[in-house]
């Protein structure tokens, strides 16, 4: 509640917005380019444009949101950030934002993710953050989130809980989307320059909790572009979830017949979350966005293909979006010559050891 | 008779032990041993996969019960007709309530003879629907308060809670126990200032001394994790009964001394 | 020789320059920001500005030069790039440039570096490049260079040798500097906006072969800024080398009394080269630039310090520049309030396993 | 008598075996066995840490010699007064020449009785200073050409080389030997068209048949890596002498047959 008031105030304070914009320009490297993908486009018979969040400082779109919330925390007089992380990208972003603004940071991470993403764990520690390993449950993002919430409840006065996606209680889903809409807003302007049609036919982004998709879609929701969110087969909250409540918000969650939340499984640690942000549930119900799934195999193939044709190794999360576009183009679902904007939410460096075992 | 009435009628410091339903094959034995040891009410956890607002021990117990195949309806079926003379208060997470729908869920509780319901992840703002369904079914919906709850909200909680107010504090990291007891005591007093329901305090109480200290400024205590730790480590109904008896005695003794 | 002619021609062809500029803007993410470092500046009592080559696609300045040469190779009708790499950053850049332009790539890498930088090796392979492990000699950059040259001699018609630093025979040192001067030119313009004095008092960059330093210095050589190249203690070609000839160029090299080239040792694989580009030898002789050394220990300390104060984990190569600035500021060698431009040549992700053992 | 003269006077296909100086304690034994086996000249490698333009075997041999403590001056001292009647041609990299200075280096070679010098990493454009110093000291500076050398440059090389022209080709990857022999042969003919120095061909020749084939269109062959491989594997002067003798016989036989 306190966060909501503070965010409303900050949003209408030009000083706050200016400070955030300066941080995004000078520290994060915004605007990120909109990169054409001529070789893959030619192979698929469509025109692909890639929004390059992988080029941001720390290597994923997570930093956009984190700097916004970290500035807000400072404004609220908090001295510490608490966060959960899955793939570790949000955690690295939090550690980075904390270092930059002189705050302390405590990041909770499931034991399995700590193993899978050992380098990100070390990056966080290099940046001065405390990383807490969570051994409970499935030892992934879901459990890290539970543990982080438990911890935060005991330290609400000094600490600010920095949610990494468009999930959690009000105002987080809304606030995180607002901090991420810079992706969609920039892309909208860049598409206007790059495409004769000004707006692409398709706007595609991967969906775990769904923050890069929410930020991207925000820029195009008022256009004719078809919005497509691509989920992991084993973590398809929007595609296969049922209405439920977890971690303080009501949305679509993977659950069994008894209402127990089931574990998500994806090759991409950042998509290992059984739910999806409430806005995606809403966009799905409205029919404004469509949610589809791709398999781990398609994802690895897509990552390799983008690397070999365009010299870009995407994060496995982002490769989900590529994988669906490849499948849809090959299946003729995308009309020849269709223009497609894909958000590359992050870079693949963190996934090298996973890929090494598979390729 | 309402839950509030039944608690008030005890005329002593209240003791509400907790057990995770379905934790062992003969888990209902724990309910019996609690009753025999002098429990004034029993909190019955219907296990949920993600008990975000509980600690690691309850998480472990929930995981273990679910792994055994426990379900909310199975647990309710097992207590149906158990004939305990101590009121049972179910506690679970909102997703399980939603699964059935609020009315159906409350009806199932009622059917099994449950008196009250605690849903820690249900925010006050969204409690309306469940509160109505509970009231309509005759289930007392118990609301929770914590030391960080601001006063206007505390007033609202005290006003809308039924049965008792559950005062929780999970700042339970080692070494801070003294400060904790202080803030929990202060919380109990704040709640009592704004309403007249009994206030039960739960903040990781594990020894009789802690129970006594907590009960000084509240109407009673909840003991959960300390019991589940023992059960997870293999303690049967008798062993746990002995432990609850010790808590009971300490609370009663303290009351006698004060008189 | 053929390369020289082709480069002269390309340089004066507006079409070539435009294609390169477009690649740098849309694929690499140029211009890179000039980031203030307020917390470290306050601690040191000077004003630091960081030129963020770590934010480029692939994570180091190497890509600037590679795209230039890869375009040149295409122009010359070559279908394949051959290169040597030390830390692997040049190799990754070559693999990337090759994928982007549809060329094949063969990258030679010393066996020790292959072990130290296993993830970069896999990145190159993901991008479709062939990586050849060189087991000869010290099994580092020097030997990879020798082996790459041997291989290239046998394939001069189809293959273009893509040198990664300001070294090698004419026209490479000059050409690579010209492709890297985008760093210095951008920084010059950005400093003019960021500093009251328009030009910083000091311009500092790390030096292995010296390409990021050459590119940075190129933007400031005609100003009053003091130019400082920072070398590894164990790879101090400019500071401690003697005139010699290796790999087709005459410059300063570490060598023993008999004229045998000695092995360079540095915690930063990219500085493990016993020589330095001829331009640095020249700038040193002129007295226009100064070359200093820092120890591995100072470098690790500097990397951690920048991470904790500014949220930036620099490559160990780049941390050499930070380390010298810290030492000079603490020693009072930099006057209080001095303005210092530091080029962050790359990001530290590749060094995490090295740092993990040390921090 | 000039190196060119001495080679021409042999009146047969020329054979120049190579050895890395200082490769073993008794390495000068290899020089003697080469002479006894009918070498027309001997290429003596002064080991350099980074023999960029040689293959992996020569790199290995150079590393081994340096690890033993070999130095250019030590090697020259060992051959001084050895009394071989076969001309020695030193080969090394430019950094070692620079170390002493061109004049001092050439003087040291001369002092040790060396007839010629090969510096593979010295580009034609920068050969002037060394060529002058060599000429002044009486050392023949042998220049190199390769199949990719363009014709105008080949002309320049043929004109400025002394003693002979060293035609090299290192496109020596397995399976391409036939194409190699062809391009090397063509190179030898191109050189002979633009000048009249003897042309020796070196491109990873290891069998007598290859030597014969190479010598068909050139004046002779250099055998280096094949010899050093044997030495690195433990072959002594006698073993290597037997091998060189076999090469010699094959070359002579071929000449006889052609007559």
Q: What is the pLDDT of residues A114-156, one digit of tens each?
A: 988 888 999 999 999 999 999 877 788 888 988 898 888 777 7
Count CA within 13 A, CB hemisphere, residue C80. 14
User: With 70 as the cut, is the pLDDT of residue B177 above it?
Assistant: no
Name every residue whose Cβ is closer than 8 Å to that of residue A172 and which is 6 or more positions away in sequence: A3, A163, A166, A249
Tell me, yes or no, whether D38 lies in a domain.
yes
pLDDT the model gives residue D259: 58
How far apart CA C56 and CA A54 sit, in angstroms, is: 10
> Smallest CA–CA separation between C169 and chain D, in Å?
10
Name every residue whose Cβ is closer than 8 Å to that of residue C327 and which is 6 or more positions away in sequence: C294, C298, C333
CA torsion, ordered A280, A286, A288, A294, to nearest 10 deg: 50
pLDDT the model gives residue D170: 62
Q: How far is residue B64 CA from its own chain's centroid?
A: 20
Structure tokens at A345: 């939410």
Q: Which of D49, D55, D73 sits opposite C150 (nearest CB)?
A: D55
Tell me, yes or no, whether D227 lies in a domain.
yes
Q: What is the DSSP letter of C210?
A: -
User: Distances in Å between the alpha carbon of C132 and those of C24, C79, C144, C230, D254?
Assistant: 28, 18, 9, 30, 41
CA torsion, ordered C58, C60, C62, C65, to nearest 10 deg: 90
Number of residues that make up chain C: 359
Q: Which of D59, D123, D171 sits opposite C137 (nearest CB)?
A: D59
Closest residue on chain D to C257 (Cα):
D99
Contact B77, A226 (CB under 8 A): no
Structure tokens at D127: 């050969």
Any idea which residues of D carry the catalytic annotation? 43, 54
Name every residue whose Cβ is closer than 8 Å to that of residue A46 and which is 6 or more positions away in sequence: A325, A329, A334, A336, A337, A338, A339, A340
Question: Reading across the β-sheet that carries A202-206, which strands appear in turn?
Answer: A34-36, A47-52, A339-344, A202-206, A226-232, A289-294
Tell me, yes or no, whether B177 lies in a domain.
no
Mean pLDDT of chain A: 95
Any idea which of A175-184, C265-274, D35-44 has the lowest mean pLDDT?
C265-274
Contact C127, C120 (CB under 8 A): no
What total of structural domains would you count in chain B? 1
Write down the residue that tokens 């690579």 correspond to. C176
Name every residue whose Cβ is closer than 8 Å to that of residue A313 and which is 6 or more positions away in sequence: A303, A306, A307, A347, A348, A349, C123, C126, C127
Quick: pLDDT tens for A256-303: 999 999 988 899 988 988 999 999 999 999 999 999 999 999 999 999
Name every residue whose Cβ is closer than 8 Å to that of residue B188 and which is 6 or more positions away in sequence: B167, B199, B201, B217, B218, B219
- pTM of the predicted structure, to 2 decimals: 0.92
Cα-Cα end-to-end distance for chain C: 47
C-proximal residues of D, 63-82, CB under 8 Å: 63, 66, 71-73
Nearest C-alpha neighbor of C359 from the set C293, C320, C308, C309: C308
Name every residue whose Cβ is closer than 8 Å to that of residue D33 and which is 6 or more positions away in sequence: D237, D238, D240, D241, D244
Quick: pLDDT tens for B107-154: 999 999 999 999 999 988 889 999 999 999 999 999 999 888 888 999
Q: At what angle do helices C62-75 and C89-101 cross, to 10 degrees?
A: 40
pLDDT the model gives residue B147: 84
Other Cβ atoms less than 10 A from the Cβ of D236: the count is 14
Instruction: Tell me whether A78 touches chain B (CB under 8 Å).
Output: no
**What's the mean pLDDT in C240-255?**
94
Nearest C-alpha neighbor of A148 from the set A133, A138, A158: A133
How far apart CA A51 and CA A55 sit, in angstroms, is: 9
CATH of the domain at B251: 3.20.20.70
Q: Does the distance separating the beta carbons of B66 and A153 come in below 8 Å? A: no
User: With 70 as the cut, is the pLDDT of residue B195 above it?
Assistant: yes
> Smallest CA–CA separation between A122 and chain B, in Å?
25
Instruction: Tell me whether C155 touches chain D (CB under 8 Å).
Output: yes
Tell me, yes or no, whether D187 lies in a domain.
no
Structure tokens at A185: 């807003």
How far apart CA D175 and CA A28 sit, in angstroms, is: 52
Query: pLDDT tier at D175 (50, 70, 90 boundaries)?
Result: very low
How far apart CA A105 and CA A97 sit, in angstroms, is: 9
Q: Which of C211, C266, C345, C350 is catalytic?
A: C345
Which chain A residues are Cβ-neighbours of B49 within 8 angstroms? 137, 260-262
Q: What is the DSSP letter of A274?
A: S
User: With 60 as the cut, is the pLDDT of residue B172 above it?
Assistant: no
Cα-Cα end-to-end distance for chain B: 29
User: With 80 as the cut, is the pLDDT of residue C102 above it?
Assistant: yes
Q: Does the distance separating the beta carbons of C153 and D123 come in below 8 Å? A: no
Closest residue on chain B to A2 (Cα):
B150
Q: At what angle do helices A172-194 and A278-286 cross, to 10 degrees?
A: 60
pLDDT the model gives residue A136: 77
> Smallest CA–CA separation between C255 and chain A, in Å?
36
Name the neighbours of C, counting chains with at least 3 Cβ pairs within 8 A. A, D
Q: Does the distance separating the beta carbons of A137 and B59 come in below 8 Å? A: yes
Q: How far is residue A253 CA from its own chain's centroid?
A: 17
Any idea which residues of A carry the catalytic annotation? 62, 84, 345
Contact B79, B44 (CB under 8 A): yes
Tell me, yes or no, whether B188 lies in a domain.
no
Other Cβ atoms less than 10 A from the Cβ of C161: the count is 22
Nearest C-alpha neighbor of C334 from the set C224, C217, C205, C203: C203
Count CA within 13 A, CB hemisphere, residue D119. 29
Q: Any bridge partners for residue A91, and if so which? A: none
Nearest C-alpha neighbor of A94 from the set A76, A120, A70, A121: A70
> Smallest CA–CA separation between A311 and chain C, in Å?
4
Tell me, yes or no, whether D186 lies in a domain.
no
Contact A217, A205 (CB under 8 A): yes
Other Cβ atoms less than 10 A from the Cβ of B173: the count is 12
Instruction: Tell me whether C243 touches chain D (CB under 8 Å).
Output: yes
How far apart CA A317 and CA A36 sit, in angstroms, is: 20
**What's the mean pLDDT in C56-79?**
97
**What's the mean pLDDT in D72-100?**
95
Other Cβ atoms less than 10 A from the Cβ of C195: the count is 16
pLDDT the model gives residue C313: 97
Q: At what angle do helices C211-218 and C62-75 cross, to 10 degrees?
A: 90
Contact C140, C86 (CB under 8 A): yes
pLDDT the model gives residue B259: 58
Q: Do chains B and D touch (3 or more CB pairs under 8 A)?
A: no
How far apart CA A137 and CA D101 sit, in angstroms, is: 74
Quick: pLDDT tens for D107-147: 999 999 999 999 999 988 889 999 999 999 999 999 999 88
Nearest C-alpha neighbor of A284 from the set A229, A342, A209: A229
User: With 90 as the cut, is the pLDDT of residue C204 above it?
Assistant: yes
Q: Which of C62, C142, C165, C251 is catalytic?
A: C62
How far apart CA C185 and CA C181 sit, in angstroms, is: 6
Structure tokens at D59: 């790199």
Query: pLDDT tier at C171 (50, 70, 90 boundaries)?
Result: very high
pLDDT the model gives residue A359: 79
Query: pLDDT tier at D182 (50, 70, 90 boundaries)?
Result: confident
User: With 50 as the cut, is the pLDDT of residue D230 above it?
Assistant: yes
Residue C33's region, left for phi above 0, alpha for psi from -120 to 50, else beta, is beta
Structure tokens at D238: 């006698």
Closest residue on chain C to D171 (Cα):
C154
Structure tokens at B84: 């305990």
Number of residues that make up chain D: 259
Query: pLDDT tier at B175 (50, 70, 90 boundaries)?
Result: very low
**What's the mean pLDDT in C1-13?**
93
C41 is catalytic: no
> Smallest CA–CA separation between C157 and chain D, in Å?
8
Name the neighbours of A, counting chains with at least 3 Cβ pairs within 8 A. B, C
Write down the residue that tokens 């060598």 correspond to. C255
Instruction: Tell me whether C5 touches chain D (CB under 8 Å).
Output: no
Q: Which of A102, A307, A356 sits opposite C99 (nearest CB)?
A: A307
Query: pLDDT tier at C150 (50, 70, 90 boundaries)?
Result: confident
User: With 50 as the cut, is the pLDDT of residue D172 above it?
Assistant: no
**What's the mean pLDDT in C36-63?**
98
Mean pLDDT of chain B: 91
Instruction: Tell me whether D128 touches chain C (CB under 8 Å).
Output: no
Burial of B78 from C-beta contacts in 10 A (0-12 / 13-18 / 19+): middle
pLDDT the model gives residue B173: 39
Tell me, yes or no, whether D193 lies in a domain.
no
> From the candidates C55, C81, C99, C311, which should be mutated to test the interface with A, based on the most A CB atoms within 10 A?
C311
Whether cis (ω within 30° of 0) applies to the bond prior to C31 is yes
Query: pLDDT tier at C152 (50, 70, 90 boundaries)?
Result: confident
Instruction: Tell me whether C29 touches chain D (CB under 8 Å).
Output: no
User: With 60 as the cut, is the pLDDT of residue D177 above it?
Assistant: no
Mean pLDDT of chain C: 95
Q: Does the distance separating the beta carbons of C145 and D49 come in below 8 Å? A: no
How far apart CA C139 and CA C290 sit, in angstroms, is: 30
Q: Does the distance separating the beta carbons of B173 and A146 come in below 8 Å? A: no
Any idea which residues of B carry the catalytic annotation? 43, 54
Q: Do chains C and B touch (3 or more CB pairs under 8 A)?
A: no
Residue-number span of the structural domain to which D61 is assigned: 3-142+205-258
**What's the mean pLDDT in D6-32?**
96
Name the neighbours of B, counting chains with at least 3 Cβ pairs within 8 A. A
C13 vs B177: which has the higher pLDDT: C13
User: With 70 as the cut, is the pLDDT of residue A162 above it?
Assistant: yes
Tell me, yes or no, whether B197 lies in a domain.
no
Instruction: Tell me whether B235 touches chain A (CB under 8 Å).
Output: no
Per cent of chain C over pLDDT 70 is 100
How far apart CA B235 and CA B33 sit, in angstroms, is: 12
């Amino acid at each position: 509640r306190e966060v909501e008031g503070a965010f409303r105030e900050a949003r209408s304070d030009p000083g706050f917005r200016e400070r955030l914009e300066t941080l995004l320009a000078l520290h994060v490297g915004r605007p990120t380019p909109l990169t054409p993908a001529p070789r893959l486009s030619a192979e698929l018979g469509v025109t692909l444009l890639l929004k390059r969040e992988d080029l941001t400082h720390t290597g994923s779109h997570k930093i956009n949101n984190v700097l916004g919330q970290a500035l807000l925390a400072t404004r609220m007089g908090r001295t510490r950030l608490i966060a959960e992380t899955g793939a570790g990208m949000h955690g690295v972003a939090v550690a980075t934002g904390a270092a930059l603004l002189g705050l302390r940071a405590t990041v909770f991470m499931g034991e399995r993710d700590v193993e899978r993403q050992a380098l990100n764990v070390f990056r966080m520690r290099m940046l001065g953050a405390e990383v807490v390993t969570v051994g409970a449950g499935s030892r992934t993002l879901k459990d890290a989130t539970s543990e982080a919430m438990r911890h935060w409840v005991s330290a609400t006065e000094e600490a600010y809980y920095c949610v990494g996606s468009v999930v959690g209680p009000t105002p987080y889903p809304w606030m995180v989307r607002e901090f991420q809409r810079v992706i969609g807003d920039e892309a909208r302007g860049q598409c206007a320059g790059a495409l004769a049609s000004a707006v692409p036919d398709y706007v595609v982004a991967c969906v775990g909790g769904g923050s890069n998709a929410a930020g991207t879609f925000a820029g195009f929701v008022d256009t004719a572009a078809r919005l497509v969110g691509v989920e992991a087969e084993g973590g398809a909250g929007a595609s296969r979830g049922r209405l439920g409540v977890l971690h303080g918000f009501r949305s679509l969650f993977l659950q069994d017949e008894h209402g127990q939340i089931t574990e998500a499984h994806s090759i991409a640690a950042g998509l290992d979350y059984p739910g999806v942000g409430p806005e995606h549930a809403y966009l799905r119900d409205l029919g404004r966005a469509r949610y589809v799934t791709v398999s781990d195999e398609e994802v690895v193939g897509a990552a390799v293909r983008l690397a070999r044709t365009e010299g870009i190794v995407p994060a496995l999360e982002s490769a989900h979006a590529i994988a669906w576009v490849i499948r849809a183009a090959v299946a003729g679902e995308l009309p020849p010559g269709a223009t497609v904007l894909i958000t590359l939410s992050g870079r693949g460096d963190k996934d090298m050891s996973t890929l090494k075992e598979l390729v | 008779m309402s839950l509030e009435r039944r608690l008030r009628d005890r005329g002593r410091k209240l003791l509400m032990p907790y057990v995770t339903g379905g934790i062992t094959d003969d888990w209902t034995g724990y309910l019996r041993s609690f009753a025999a040891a002098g429990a004034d009410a029993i909190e019955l956890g219907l296990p949920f996969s993600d008990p975000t607002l509980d600690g690691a021990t309850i998480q472990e117990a929930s995981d273990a019960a679910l792994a055994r195949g426990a379900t909310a309806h199975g647990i309710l079926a097992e207590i149906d007709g158990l004939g305990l003379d101590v009121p049972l208060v179910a506690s679970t997470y909102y997703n399980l309530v939603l699964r059935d729908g609020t009315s159906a869920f409350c009806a199932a509780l009622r059917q099994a003879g449950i008196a009250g319901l605690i849903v820690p992840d249900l925010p006050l703002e969204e409690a309306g629907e469940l509160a109505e369904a509970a009231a309509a079914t005759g289930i007392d919906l118990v609301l929770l308060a914590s030391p960080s709850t601001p006063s206007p909200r505390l007033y609202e909680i005290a006003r809308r809670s039924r049965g008792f107010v559950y005062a929780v504090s999970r700042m339970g990291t080692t070494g801070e126990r003294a400060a904790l007891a202080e803030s929990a005591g202060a919380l109990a007093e704040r709640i009592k200032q704004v309403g007249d329901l009994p206030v039960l305090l739960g903040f990781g109480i594990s020894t009789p001394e802690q129970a006594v200290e907590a009960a000084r400024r509240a109407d009673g205590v909840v003991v959960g994790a300390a019991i589940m730790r023992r059960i997870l480590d293999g303690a049967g109904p008798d062993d746990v009964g002995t432990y609850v008896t010790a808590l009971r005695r300490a609370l009663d003794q303290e009351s006698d001394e004060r008189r």
